[in-house]
Structure formats: structure tokens, C-alpha cells
Structure 1
Amino acid sequence: MTCETSPAWILEGQEGLQSLKLINNSAIPPLGDHDILVRIHAASLNHRDLAIAKGAHSLTINPKIIAASDGAGVVQSVGSQVRNFQPGDKVCTYMVPQKSESEPVNFADISNGLGQRVDGTLRPFGVFHEAALVKMPSRLSYLEASTLTCAALTAWNALFGLESKGPKKGDVVLVQGSGGVSILAMQYALACGAMVIATTSSDTKGQKLRGLGAHHILNYRTDANWGEAAKRLTPDGKGVHLVVDVGGLSTVGQSLKAVRPEGVISMTGLLGGPPDSNINTLLDCLVNLCTVRGVLLGTRRQFEEMNRFIDDHGIRSALDPKAFGF
């Protein structure tokens, strides 16, 4: 199959969502030796996409970049040197194709990734380097699989990035909030047999988290000392084995109160705003006898491992019921 042009949503600037423009004739280049033409059936959006559109955090883009990094589709044709994909394969996009399959991702890599420096997924057809794709879980729909690129892979790395510290049956995992990373981390932890404690800002969200399997819900708006509350909920009272911290400066103090000795705090985001009243330092790791690690996306090899886990455990993405047409 050959395509010369495709509709696409591009960013003409970084003034917010008004900078998005739909064009009908985005050029599709001929396939290079390691390129793959993909028909994109679904794309999902992340906080990163909005930040790029707004130019937040001094983020810059290539002119008229095609937006978004996350998507799922089917291979239409492959370049002459592609060996691991063939027409008909169902695939997910990987944000940072410039990295080797097992090399950790850093902020500079993400800044050069899909939807910012490399054309992204808000288009029906696109050419991607083979390193920008992984085979999607066979059990998922395209809509479900389109959510895996950013949030799911970050959640996987948060739980399993330290091979000796992944959750196991009987462990306790604390997840913060009801965003994509937290929900997916909760699903993976539950599949391992762990107890999950989830924090949230409202009873309505708490009910949804409980419906997805959370064992305990803590409302951080009504209980400012939720870290100690989480510790009390653990069967032995020693604290949680792993914290998935998405808030950053505003939540790490409570995460330190919740974690047990030799436990792990995975720092995955900075969504919580300004710091709390206590300024935490590296010495807090000594005082609390814990490991705190930064987590940024994950490797392509981790993506493949995660997709096998999803298939093996029958995990389905928790989609918002509202989906938008192209």
C-alpha cells in the first residue's frame, strides 16, 4: 500500500489548543530501509501534549509538528531492512525512537521524541522508524492499546524498573490520584497479588478507584497526614513496600511517611504544585532507610515486557467512556 498524503493535526505555534490546526495534505515520505507505514486507528492524549501546545516548561517544537506521541494501529508496509515487523502486525508507538532498546530515557530524549521533534500520532497514516514501534498486546483494542505509550510504560517502570524490588503477593503499593500512571500502576500491582492503597481528592473518584480494585482509599483533602494513615493500613504497620509518587514536591513528604524501611518511592511526576511545609533532602532516604528513584518513561525492552504481562494477566485499559473522532 502507498500513501502520498494524509490528514493531520499540526501545531502552528505554542499558544495553547488554538495552535492546533487540521490540514488535509500532510506529506507522507517514501519508506526508508528501516521505516514502516502505519495506519493509526487510535491515539491518546497526555499532560505532555498540552504542555507542548502551551509551550510550558520552555518546551520547543519543530515547525508544524504533528501532535501527540501515543497511538496504536496496523502495519501497512515496511522498508527493505525491517525484519521484526510485517504488514498486518498491530503496533503501539514508542516515544523515543533514537534510543537503543535497553538504554534509559532522559528529558533530552523526550524533548526530541514523537509529537515534539518527530511527527506524532494525530493522523490516520504515518511513517515511523521501526525503533518507534512495538507490537501491541493481542487482547487489547486499538483504543486500549493507544494508552500504553506514555502513562502505562511509566507505571511499569515505576513498579518493575528495579528488578529486585518489583511488587509481589502480599506487598503493599501506594498510588497517588486517579490519573493514567496511578491507575495502570494499580492494575499491575493487583495482578501481582499486592494490596493497593490509593489516594484521591473526592469520594466520587474514590468509588471509581475501588471499583477498579483498590483495597483502601484515602482522601488527601480531608486527611492531610495521609502518609501515616497509609502506614497504619499495612498489615504489619511498618509501611508500604512501594509508592508511586506523581505529585513531586507537594507529596514526597507524605510518601516518606508512608514507606517502610527498605521500601521504594518511584518519583514519576511533578503534578502536585508547590512543596509542602517540609523541605526534603537526600538525607531523608537515610533517615527513612528507603530508596527514592526518578522514573521517566521506560525503555523499549520494558515496553515489550509490559505488553507480554498485559496479555498474560488479561489486563484491560480503564478508558474514559468518552472518545473523540479524528
Structure 2
Amino acid sequence: MTGKKWILTGQEGYETSLQLVDSDISPSPQLGPDDVLVQVQAASLNYRELVIAKDSGGLVGPITPNVVPGSDGAGMVVSVGSNVTSLSPGDRVVTYLSPLIPHTDETILPAAGDIGDGLGQKVHGTLANQMIITQHGVIKAPSNLTPLQAATLTCSGLTAWNALFGLSGREIKKGDWVLVQGTGGVSIAALQFAVAVGANVIATTSTAEKAERLKGLGAKHVINYRETENWGEVAKKYTPDQKGVDVVVDVAGNSSLVQSLAAVKTDGIIALVGLLDKSDPGSVPMMSALWTPCIVRGIFLGSRKQYRDLVKFIEEKGIVPVLDDVVFSLDQVKEAYKRLEEQKHFSKIAIKIDE
């Protein structure tokens, strides 16, 4: 039986290097003792994949030749290796981006090198009908989600969870104030998680249409950052006694950090989860940080334990991740990446692969 998979033949950009090829599908391939065969049912896309596909500046490093791209996926276990006891055929699973980090301690957080060694760069990823992956690279999916919805959790969902709940003793709670930026996957997931615990969310966006969608998801206040340059100061004024927000989920980095510092309260937390801005990384506003004593916390995804906690939270709260308006098929991945690159999406772009 023949299926399909995408491969990266180089790093000249997804338009050139991304190729769709045939792939043999077997219900019983030769598995290593720790391997799991997964029928991939859905995937979702990340900005990281655009960078990997065109690493002209050496930011992320080389790929395994002809690697299958994509880190986020959901599917069904078809068969397992001899050492696998926690999973069985028929189980629904989601992928974990960094399957090679030590699994004996599930609290270990991925570092930058673990991301580079992960799915879609060094290890074959999710943009295929079928994948063989170590058992430490998947966990059981939330029982209340479809594969398309579950496929959003690998990066965006786990990163948002870590940003809000990952610092022991400083997890957000009912009545706290959270600032999220834009309408990408991490920001929307953070909004949903914060609302689910009763926190107050302030969101930023660039259009009136997106502002209405953010309010519909539970944002208490929405600020148009194109119209309001000092949106950090404005966000602070919305909080009780204008003390500032408890947590900022910062997805842009260089261009947004000054405003994040203006918004956060003394001893609050700024979770740095992305670098969408490509300006000089040396322009870190250190004096602003000194004038606003706070925790600036860099985040790469989260631990396996945090992932399992996230799954439990989603099931208990009945959270349904938000998908972009357009869902693509496996053979439309290039069109999907173009939509991601042009930032025409809302939340997560999903790829429907198999049912």
C-alpha cells in the first residue's frame, strides 16, 4: 500500500525544497523495541518550520537529509515495539517535539539543542500518512478532542501552558491578569487556558475583525497595537489600581519587549515564547527591565509532565482548541505554509491527513 509524505531536500525555502513523494505504508513494519507505529490523522503548522526550510542565516542549523517536516501531529497507534507497555494499538496520541531528551525524569525541560534535534529537523516529523517514532515521542491525546484539534497541542498548546502554569508557585489563578499578543497559536491557546481558570485577559491585535473574535473567546479588553503604540501602558491602566498584569505572553521578542515591560506589574512574569520580530537581537531594553523589576522567563515548549498536565486540564475544562478558518489536506501543505508565511491565519493552521 502506498501513501504520501513530504520531505525537505534542502534548506532553500519551502517553495523549492519541500517535495511530496510516495511512501510505503505497512501495517506491520519492523519496529525497534521502543518504537511506535502511528497512523497520522492530522498535523498543524508552526513558524519554526518556515525557518528550518530556509535557514539562510544558520539560525536553526542543518536538517537530516530528506527529513519529513512537521512537529505537531495527532493519530492512532497501529503497533508497538516489544518494550512498549504504556501504549496499545488503537490508542489516540499526540506528538512530543523533543523525543530524544531523557525520559527517566519527565520534569526535564527542553533546551535549544533539544528543539534542533527534534521532530521535523533531525527526526522525521508528522507531514506523512504514517510515522515510526520512539514511545517517548508521543503521549495519549485528550479524549474530548478530534485529531485536528489535538494536533495543535505539540508546540502552541504546550508552550502556552508552560508560560501560564510552568513556574512552580506562580501559576495563574482566578482573578489574575494576563496579556497575550496577537492571534497566533500560542496567544490563542494562552487566552483559552487563562479564561478557563477565571483569569482576566487583555489581548492585542491589528484589526477590528480579529478584536471581535478575541472578545468572543473571552478577552476582557482588546487593544489595536497599530493604532496604539503605547499598548503596554494602556494594558496596565486596565488592571486594578493600574498595577500591571501578572503575566505577559510575549511572542514577538525584540519589538514587543519594551511594551511588555510597560504592562507587567512589579514582580510579574514576562514569558518569552517567540521571536517573530527579526530586528537586531542585541537591542534588549535592559534599563527598562531594571526599572520594572520582574521575571523575564525564556521558554522552549515544556516538559513531558507539563504535557500530561495539559491533557488532563483540557479534558477537565472541556477546552476545544481554535483552528484557522481554512483546513488543508496533505497534498496542500505548500499552500498552507504560504498562508502561514503571509500571516493570514487565525490561531492554528491544521492539515487533515487520515481518519
User: More deviation in 12-21 or 311-320?
Assistant: 12-21
Cα distance in 2 for partners of 1:142, 1:89 equals 12
Q: Deviations over 1:234-260 (max 9, x none)?
A: 122111010001111111111111111
**Does the alignment pair 1:280 with 2:276?**
no
Q: What pairs up with 1:11-50 in 2 under 5 angstroms?
A: 11-17=8-14, 18-25=16-23, 30-50=30-50
* Cross-structure match for 1:83: 85
Give SS of 1:42's match. Answer: strand
Q: Is the 8 A contact 2:25 2:130 kept in 1?
A: no
In the alignment, structure 1 residue 242 sits paired with structure 2 residue 247: yes
SS of residue matched to 2:312: helix
1:224: how far off? 0.6
Return the offset for 1:51: 1.1
- 2:352 match: none
d(CA) in 2 for partners of 1:179 and 1:65? 26
Distance of aligned partners of 1:57 and 1:246 in 2 relative to their CA distance in 1, 3 Å threshold: farther
User: What corresponds to 1:73 in structure 2?
Assistant: 75
Q: CA deviation at 1:275?
A: 6.3
Find the aligned partners of 2:244 and 2:302 in 1 and give their Cα distance.
27
Per-residue Cα deviation, 1:253-311 (whole angstroms, up to 9, x for no partner): 111111111211101111133269x8512x54442121111011111111111010011
Q: Which moved more, 1:20-29 or 1:48-57?
A: 20-29
Contact 1:75 1:86 in 2 (8 A): yes
Kept in 2: contact 1:172–1:241 (CA 8 A): yes
- Is 1:210 equivalent to 2:207 in the alignment? no
Query: CA shift at 1:215, angstroms?
Result: 0.7
User: Once the 2 structures are TM-superposed, how far is the Cα of residue 320 of structure 1 from its aligned partner?
Assistant: 1.1
2:7 to 1, 10, 34: 10
Structure 2 residue aligned with 1:169: 174
1:92 and 2:94 aligned: yes
- After superposition, give the CA deviation of every residue in 1:140-185 in whole Å (9 maximum; x if it has no partner): 0000001110111111111111021111111100001110000000
Tell me how far apart the structure 1 counterparts of residues 300 and 33 of structure 2 sit (CA, whole Å).
30
Contact 1:66/1:120 (<8 A) preserved: yes
**Partner amino acid, structure 1, of 2:82:** S
Query: Counterpart of 1:62?
Result: 64
Matched, 1:320 2:324: yes
Gaps of 5+ in 2: 331-355
Which residue number in structure 2 is paired with residue 145 of structure 1? 150
Contact 1:51 1:57 in 2 (8 A): no
Q: Among 95, 118, 125, which residue is 2:123 paired with?
A: 118
Given the alignment, which residue of 176, 183, 196 partners 1:178? 183
Per-residue CA distance 1:2-49 (angstroms, 9 max, x = gap): x8x642111111121221111113587511111111101001110011
Contact 2:165/2:172 (8 A) holds in 1: yes
| TM-align CA RMSD | 1.8
1:269 corresponds to which letter in structure 2? G
Secondary structure, counterpart of 1:236 in structure 2: helix
Contact 1:266 1:293 in 2 (8 A): yes
Moved over 2 A (4+): 25-29, 272-276, 283-287
Amino acid at match of 1:76: V
Superposition deviation, residue 127 in structure 1? 0.8
Whether the aligned pair in 1 keeps the contact of 2:36 and 2:134 (CA below 8 Å) is yes
Structure 1 residue 321, shift from structure 2 partner: 2.3
Q: State the alpha-carbon separation in 2 of the partners of residues 27 and 60 from structure 1.
A: 27
- Measured in 1, the distance between the counterparts of 2:284 and 2:63 equals 34
Is the 2:68–2:125 contact (alpha carbons within 8 Å) kept by the matching residues of 1?
yes
Classify the secondary structure of the residue corresponding to 2:242.
Answer: coil
Q: Does 1:102 align with 2:100?
A: no
Instruction: Indicate the residue corresponding to 1:289 in structure 2.
Output: 293
CA distance in 1, matches of 2:309, 2:75: 19
Written as runs of structure 1 = structure 2, the 5 A alignment for 1:192-231 is 192-231=197-236
CA distance in 2, matches of 1:219, 1:42: 33
Q: Which has the higher contact order (CA 8 A, sep 6+)?
A: 2
TM-score, length of structure 1 as denominator length: 0.94
Q: How many residues align?
A: 322
Identity %: 49
Distance 1:143 1:56, change over 3 A: farther
8 Å contact from structure 1 (residues 8, 26) kept in 2:
no
1-structure distance, mates of 2:48, 2:284: 27
- With 88-97 and 266-275 compared, the bigger mean Cα shift is at 266-275
Ranges in structure 1 where 5+ consecutive residues have no aligned partner? none
2:62 counterpart letter in structure 1:
T
- CA–CA separation in structure 2 for the residues paired with 1:275 and 1:250: 9
Per-residue deviation, 1:210:
1.1
CA contact (8 A) 2:67 2:124 kept: yes
